[in-house]
Amino acid sequence: MRKIVALAMTLAVVAPIGVASPLHDAFAYQAPRPPVGGDCNQIAAAIGPDATWYGEIAGRRWDNVQDQYYPFSARGCFHSERECRIWHNQALTYMDRGPMNYAICRRGLR
């Protein structure tokens, strides 16, 4: 009986070392990534500079770990106004509780 209990205790300690916990990914922190705008040169070459939508956003991003604001700004080009507005919303989500200073979507590269 002692041998069975000792074997069970050994397996209980050693077995989890080589096997990843199924809950590991559920509790692993993944920092949010800022939204990525399109490449202006590629989009302008594909659809023309007058049909390209240009977007900018600026504000501050709240960091929950250090409890303070950090400056945030991004820009990019898009095929349509809809893509630009979706990108703005993704940027606002990334900024968390931070205030937005300005955001624009305009047609054409200047």
53-104 residue pLDDT tens: 999 999 999 888 888 999 999 999 999 999 999 999 999 989 888 899 999 9
CB 42 within 8 A of CB 54: no
Average pLDDT, the chain: 85
Domain ranges for the chain, please list them: 35-107
Q: Is the pTM of this model over 0.75?
A: no
CATH architecture, domain defined by 35-107: Roll (3.10)
Would you call 85 exposed, middle or buried from its count of C-beta atoms within 10 A (0-12, 13-18, 19+)? middle
